[in-house]
Structure 1
């Protein structure tokens, strides 16, 4: 492993995070690691979703995707690190934990980070409606760090945030598409769009309203997310 990429989380940026509820970072890992992570990511999807990202894209383009009855989908895989523990020994993971610790003003050893895989296939990657992560029952995460492995654009599903929405508590939500939630009455006039290059990242508070569009482009949008919470003791469940 090379030395990790440095990142700038100065006090000014900490203040901005707590004022607006999110941050956008240009880079939290190296090009070499991004390339390595793409290979691991594709293997995770192939093993745990049953199809490689390339096969999913091909079937989606032909409108023959068997997942979700062929409807627009977002492939979501929780805790791939349980099957691929090498993910925990990456600059991406270590830097994300340090960023979370700095923003939450605790030691990195107090942060528990769980990885998630998100894939929006080309032509059929589903919308993620406006919501707050803390609205989901049982949620204990304080913030999430979201890193794309492909260019994340407004057209293929980069994240949108509403600044300051984390200061208003949890908004009313209703069920969306069976297992999801959508916030009610969201005023999107102040929404900020956060496109990112591969290896860039957004960090958002669990109460921050956020959204991503469907992916109707010719390119897939792969992303890794680390959900972070703070433990009060050294024992971890």
Structure 2
């Protein structure tokens, strides 16, 4: 009996020890699982923190960039007198242009004005300019392409009479009495051709499509009686 009790006694604790081990392992597994979950969450939190830190770093970089920019402004401010003088000169030139050429197009000492009330033939265009105290324009070769671009930007597509007409062999600027040669690079393709007699006058073509294709060829010869063109005065 004593021996059996001893065996049971000895077996009992082993059994309970096994149960305790199982319970301990279960708790340990739960702890490990919980830890893993927490660790995963903590990794996510760390990522969030890293992103926020990165954002802070970026904002810090932006602040540094702004500081550098401010320093450049301070350096520029040291040259304020020079910059003010430059600005003053620009304003003076702009105001002089405005005084010289109110409501017109000022290009390289020439002031041009478009009469947009109605289109007319070449003779009437000349008279319309004179009625305004102006004359039909004679743009110099160096400014006409610029004038054409400004006309396109300001008024859109159109054709404009200028003060030149044929004399039988060439075109002539009427006030300057200067010949506008038929081989001048400012002529559009195919012009003037044989259209150089006195019934043909010089027209400045302003067209967005034509500007893209032939930006440096604004002139073409046109019948002086055409009434679909605007006077370009100066």
Q: TM-score range by the shorter chain?
A: under 0.3
Tell me which protein shows more helix as a share of its residues: 2
**Higher RCO (CA 8 Å, separation ≥ 6 residues):** 1
Q: Normalising to structure 1: TM-score of the pair?
A: 0.23
Larger Rg: 2
